[in-house]
Structure 1
Amino acid sequence: MSKILMVVSGADSMKLADGSVHPTGYWAEEVAASHEVLRAAGAEVDVATPGGVRPTVDQLSLDARGGVPAADAERFRGYLASIADVLDTPMALADVRAGDYDAIYLPGGHAPMADLAESADLGRLLNEADAQGKTVAALCHGVAALLSAARDDGGFTFAGRRLTSFTDEEERQGGLGDNAPYFVETRLRERGAVLDTGAPWSRKVVQDGNLITGQNPQSSTDTADRVLAALNG
């Protein structure tokens, strides 16, 4: 049985470009749908956050304001409630070692931009996992969490690697627009990643060796499926 660590942001707010503070959290579909697919395949899934804090769901991800149909929102609520014991008592990221897992999985929501992207503990974990050839997967804004990983010379660990992320156009169409702290796609390009993105809101998963990335919430189940295929292959 595969053992997977899902690293979820612990942030419940973030500072925007105009200096205002915006409530945030993880995106319900990206945690719920991904976790459900992985568990249904028999994988053991642990959850970790910075400091072991209980993660906060972004209320927009359970609301029509976030473009989520009522039936889907109800399904995500139900699944999150079914794993409440896991989400309420996550592991502390600092205590985790990559060698204990077959894969690291990073779901999004804007929150990872506020904490995971600058987490030294996550950077250490990602460097360990990549060096050991473990599967590293990130989804939507969760791909920003990869920015925490740096080489000894200060360069981006995943520079030169092909990946996708929530796109600048998607941020403008249905995200925070120009008030976002930064655009994830642009920041990754600046750090040397090779971006391979699809049309806005299309399902898109990119695999480059042990690195698997999904573009947006619509790509949640496809990303989880690709991780399972990589672990089983």
Structure 2
Amino acid sequence: MTKILFVITAADHWTLADGTRHPAGFWAEEAIGPYQVFKQAGYEIAAATPGGVPPTADALSLTPDFNGGEEGAQRMRTALHEATELAQPLRIEDVDINDYAAVFYPGGWGPMEDLPDNAASGKLLTEWLASGKPVSLVCHGPAALLATIGPDGTSPYTGYRLTGLSNA
């Protein structure tokens, strides 16, 4: 069976410019929506985080306000609970890209905390680009690209066009 790797933040907060810690994590819908699509299509899913730490869903992403009401929030919480692969991650350092067909980085504010300077994630993204396999980063997930460094000292993603949510 073909596998897709989800690289998920291990952060449970985001440190703001003034030093305050804002509760965060990965945005549940940005992981669960693609997870369900890939599973229905027959893909096997694995997850990796910095240090292999089980990821934290941003509590805000599990509230009725962001899920169309209490019923939607309960569906999201249930789906997250059932996505057991996401709760048992590998360490990013231990990932072999040859084991996977694609890599997917869900967003949320957490990736802004622990992925922009994560050397293992940067190395993984650099290798993935060179392999020609699909790379997908959603919402704040592209913050992980800040850790990519090519042989010439620049990001191998330089010149690529992408979109992301800045909250500017």
Q: Please state which band the TM-score falls in when normalised by the shorter chain.
A: over 0.9
Structure 2 residue runs of 5 or longer lacking an equivalent are none
Aligned to 2:17: 17
CA distance in 2, matches of 1:75, 1:149: 36
Correspondence 1:124 to 2:123: yes
Moved over 6 A (4+): none
Shift of 1:143: 1.5
CA RMSD after TM alignment: 1.4
Equivalent residue, structure 2, for 1:88: 87
SS of match in other structure, 2:86: helix
- Whether the aligned pair in 2 keeps the contact of 1:7 and 1:107 (CA below 8 Å) is yes
Considering Cα pairs closer than 8 Å and 6+ residues apart, tell me whether 1 or 2 has the greater RCO.
2
Q: How does 1:1-233 map to 2 (within 5 A)?
A: 1-64=1-64, 67-70=66-69, 71-83=71-83, 85-166=84-165, 168=166, 171-172=167-168
User: Counterpart of 1:22 in 2: which secondary structure?
Assistant: strand
Deviations 1:28-55 (A, max 9, x none): 1011111000110001110111111010
Contact 1:24 1:110 in 2 (8 A): yes
Deviates more, 1:103-112 or 1:74-83: 74-83
SS of residue paired to 2:5? strand
Percent identical among aligned pairs is 44
The alignment partner of 1:117 has SS state of coil
Deviation at 1:87, TM superposition (A): 2.9
- After TM superposition, give the deviation of residue 97 of structure 1 in Å: 1.5
TM-score, structure 1 normalization: 0.68
Q: 1:105–1:136: 8 Å Cα contact kept in structure 2?
A: yes
1:140–1:165 CA contact under 8 A, matched in 2: yes
CA distance in 1, matches of 2:113, 2:152: 24
Aligned-residue offset at 1:90:
0.9
Q: Is the 8 A contact 1:33 1:76 kept in 2?
A: no
What SS does structure 1 have at the residue aligned with 2:140? helix
TM-score (norm 2): 0.93
Deviation track 1:107-132 (CA, whole Å, cap 9, x = no partner) reads: 01010111112110011111111111
Kindly tell me the number of residue pairs found equivalent between the two proteins.
167
